[in-house]
């Protein structure tokens, strides 16, 4: 099975960093590559992601608005690159236009599948000089400026574009209903669609799609609808969010929707808060594993059956419903599922699943929660929110271990805690996040935690940069990170040996005390010119 990594689109304007080290089972830095000033300050954000290749290679992606590596941007464009064992690029291609890569996975043949969001028209470049232009979502005959449509592309081992396709949301059924029920009605909802994760398993490609509106297979023979209706009985129609898992063929056509998580259609008797908050998935051993958080009456729908879970709304607080399911791919039946719910009284309810991965006989679910963790309600947050990792037995979905970061974000009226990325390498699961200022979005502290798959306690491992993406190699011997720090216009990609010993810092190498190093890790006598240098594990600007 080949897994993807995914991007946390954090709204953090990182302005401070926390220098520290990482030591989950003794990671040793093998190589790191830094790209300075790929984004101007106006567009600075955490966009970089990584994916493990088939051998010693890896893939990296991000956004840029400044020419680099021979690439020319159109607005804030995206790039995809393949790196060798030393993190030096073997090839780089640009996705010119308003595009953001959200997830990647190796194709098991030296190439990579890439998916993300885009708007307007985007030019997909190829190392052989050819291009393909894809067109985004339109309303009233004009492209929207928001990246609400999805793209998926397949590049071979040499960076040649093999195939590309798009997935555009619609709301045909809702608009038709609005015009039928109330000719004077208005559709106030929104359409969106983004591919959150790609998984290649047994030669089949699967995509987890979060969406609002309606999606169709490429041949228009099947569709899924997130649910939308007149919530207030006044002809003002709203959209709801949902999640679905689609299958794709070699040409990247959507051929089917295997499983969908959605809430019931809104009416004037139901509440507008009923919606799916987040969904995560992985595929292993002929089974699809889903974890989700939602509010209200929630259905898990496959072509073979439907399971309905009641997460009752309450006047005493905000209800978060948690569910996990095992779906057999041979007949698309739900082999098992479990659900529970918790209630929080915080003014701004928030919880999210970042990722699901199957490894070592466990289903690993990671994210951020508020107050009480629905998968294990005895686990509570320190402060308002905590990062979490929950381990389930793969065969029966029983909880083996659930642990919280127990990080106190401080005054919750001004500080928050959110998840950025997660991944598994060998026998260790990781989750990364940030403490941030809720008013300004400025980062305060980077957070990184790890837990062994045998269920030992979660431990904190800090990083001197914010970790935007984590990916482990299939053999568990290497782990890749994308990191960024102030002023958040640069991007770093690194690889660590998971089997080696010694404490290493993400974004900083082990160095002799007091010695100076340049950004590539080479020792220098003293800083001789303007730039970034490293001393005692900290980056210092001259």
In 10 A of CB 424, how many CB atoms? 26
The reply to whether 522 falls in a domain is yes
The reply to whether 269 falls in a domain is no
The reply to whether 51 falls in a domain is no
Of residues 147 and 166, the one with the higher pLDDT is 166
The reply to whether 492 falls in a domain is no
User: pLDDT tens, 350-395?
Assistant: 899 999 999 999 999 999 999 999 999 999 999 889 999 999 999 9
The reply to whether 333 falls in a domain is no
Measured between alpha carbons, how far is 262 from 468 in angstroms, rounded to an integer? 28
The reply to whether 306 falls in a domain is no
Range of the domain at 539: 514-542
Torsion of the alpha carbons at 122, 258, 47 and 8, rounded to the nearest 10: 150
User: pLDDT tens, 434-481?
Assistant: 998 888 878 888 999 999 999 888 998 867 789 999 999 988 889 999
pLDDT for residue 520 is more than 60:
no
Coil/strand/helix, residue 55: coil
User: pLDDT tens, 122-151?
Assistant: 999 999 999 999 998 887 777 777 888 999
The reply to whether 402 falls in a domain is no
Q: Is-contact 508 539, C-beta < 8 A? A: yes
Coil/strand/helix, residue 154: strand
End-to-end CA distance of the chain: 46
Number of domains the chain is built from: 1
Return the bridge partners of 383, or none.
Answer: none
Residue partners of 397: CB distance under 8 A and separation at least 6: 324, 325, 326, 336, 337, 338, 363
Residue partners of 24: CB distance under 8 A and separation at least 6: 428, 430, 450, 459, 461
This prediction has a pTM of 0.86
The chain-wide mean pLDDT, for the chain, equals 83
User: pLDDT tens, 68-119?
Assistant: 889 999 989 999 999 999 999 999 999 999 999 999 999 999 999 999 999 9
Output the pLDDT for position 148: 86
Of residues 452 and 487, the one with the higher pLDDT is 452
User: pLDDT tens, 383-428?
Assistant: 889 999 999 999 999 999 999 999 999 888 889 899 999 999 989 9
Q: Is-contact 153 164, C-beta < 8 A? A: yes
**Could you give the strand order of the β-sheet that contains 443-452, starting from the edge strand earlier in sequence?**
415-425, 428-437, 443-452, 459-460
Return the bridge partners of 112, or none.
Answer: 106, 155
Q: Decide the pairing of beta strands 5-6 and 2-3.
A: unpaired
The reply to whether 541 falls in a domain is yes
Structure confidence at residue 54 as a pLDDT band (50, 70, 90): confident
Q: How many CA atoms lie less than 13 Å away from 467 in the CB half-sphere?
A: 33
Instruction: State both tokens at 95.
Output: 């996705």
């Amino acid at each position: 099975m080949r897994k993807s990594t995914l991007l946390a689109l954090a709204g953090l304007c990182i302005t401070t960093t926390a220098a520290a080290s990482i030591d989950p089972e003794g990671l040793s830095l093998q190589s790191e590559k830094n790209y300075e000033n790929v984004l101007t300050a106006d567009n600075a954000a955490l966009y970089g992601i990584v994916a493990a290749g088939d051998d010693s290679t890896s893939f990296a992606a991000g956004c840029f608005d400044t020419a680099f590596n021979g690439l020319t941007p159109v607005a804030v464009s995206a790039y995809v690159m393949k790196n060798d064992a030393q993190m030096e690029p073997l090839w780089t291609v640009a996705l010119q236009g308003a595009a953001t890569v959200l997830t990647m996975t190796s194709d098991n043949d030296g190439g990579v599948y890439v998916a993300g969001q885009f708007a307007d028209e985007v030019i997909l470049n190829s190392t052989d000089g050819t291009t393909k232009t894809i067109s985004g979502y339109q309303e009233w005959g004009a492209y929207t400026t928001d990246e609400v449509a999805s793209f998926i592309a397949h590049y071979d081992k040499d960076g040649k574009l093999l195939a590309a396709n798009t997935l555009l949301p619609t709301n045909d059924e809702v608009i038709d209903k609005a015009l039928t029920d109330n000719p004077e009605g208005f559709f106030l909802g929104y359409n969106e669609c983004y591919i959150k994760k790609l998984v290649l398993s047994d030669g089949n490609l699967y995509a987890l799609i979060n969406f609002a509106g309606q999606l169709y297979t490429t041949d228009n023979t099947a569709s899924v609808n997130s649910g939308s209706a007149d919530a207030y009985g006044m002809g003002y129609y709203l959209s709801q969010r949902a999640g679905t898992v689609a299958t794709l063929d070699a040409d990247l056509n959507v051929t089917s929707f295997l499983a969908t998580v959605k809430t019931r259609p809104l009416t004037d008797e139901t509440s507008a808060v009923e919606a799916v908050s987040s969904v995560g998935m992985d595929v292993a051993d002929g089974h699809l594993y889903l974890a989700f958080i939602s509010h209200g009456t929630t259905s898990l729908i496959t072509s073979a059956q439907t399971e309905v879970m009641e997460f009752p709304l309450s006047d005493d607080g905000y209800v978060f419903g948690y569910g996990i399911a095992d779906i057999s791919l041979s007949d698309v039946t739900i082999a098992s599922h479990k659900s529970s719910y918790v209630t929080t009284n915080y003014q701004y309810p928030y919880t999210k699943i970042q990722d699901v991965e199957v490894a070592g006989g466990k289903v690993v679910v990671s994210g951020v929660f508020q107050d009480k963790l629905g998968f294990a309600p005895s686990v509570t947050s320190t402060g308002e929110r905590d990062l979490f990792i929950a381990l389930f037995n793969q065969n029966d979905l029983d909880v083996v271990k659930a642990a919280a970061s127990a990080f106190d974000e401080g005054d919750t009226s001004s500080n928050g805690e959110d998840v950025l990325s997660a991944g598994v390498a060998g026998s260790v699961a990781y989750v990364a996040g940030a403490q941030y200022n809720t008013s300004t979005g400025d980062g305060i502290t980077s957070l990184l935690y790890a837990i062994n798959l045998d269920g030992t306690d979660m431990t904190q491992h800090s990083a001197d940069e914010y970790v935007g993406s984590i990916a482990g190699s299939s053999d568990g011997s290497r782990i890749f990170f994308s990191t960024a720090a102030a002023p958040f216009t640069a991007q770093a990609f690194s690889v660590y040996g998971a089997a080696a010993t010694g404490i290493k810092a993400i974004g900083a190498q082990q160095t002799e005390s007091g010695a100076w190093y340049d950004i590539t890790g080479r020792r220098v006598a003293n800083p001789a010119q303007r730039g970034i240098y490293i001393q005692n594990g900290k980056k210092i600007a001259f």
